[in-house]
């Protein structure tokens, strides 16, 4: 993992900000351990900057629905 920062949100799930094909992405996905290193699995989602911005705009509504 290049300059990727992992933010742990559960035992196997992490949020990361990384670059893929020249685009910055926010990824929320499951990771697994291989040879002592964490590796991203295919289980998850990657959001573009625009999609991340839209999600942040809806956080308050999501919080209200979760109560």
Q: CATH no. for residue 27?
A: 2.30.31.10
Average pLDDT over residues 33-58: 97
16: domain range?
Answer: 5-66
In contact, 17 and 5? CB cutoff 8 Å: yes
Q: What is the mean pLDDT of the chain?
A: 93
Does residue 1 carry a pLDDT above 50? no
- What is the per-residue pLDDT for 4? 63
- What is the per-residue pLDDT for 33? 95
Number of domains, the chain: 1
Helix%, strand%, coil% for the chain, nearest 5: 25, 50, 20
Burial class (CB in 10 A: 0-12, 13-18, 19+), 31: buried
Does residue 40 carry a pLDDT above 70? yes
- What is the per-residue pLDDT for 5? 86
- What is the per-residue pLDDT for 2? 52
Nearest to 20 by CA among 3, 35, 7: 3
């Amino acid at each position: 993992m290049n300059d990727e920062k992992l933010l742990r949100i559960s035992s196997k799930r992490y949020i990361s900000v990384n670059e893929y094909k020249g685009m910055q992405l926010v990824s929320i996905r499951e990771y697994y351990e291989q040879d002592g290193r964490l590796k991203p699995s295919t289980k998850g989602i990657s959001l573009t900057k625009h999609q991340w911005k839209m999600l942040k705009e809806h956080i308050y509504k999501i919080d209200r629905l979760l109560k």
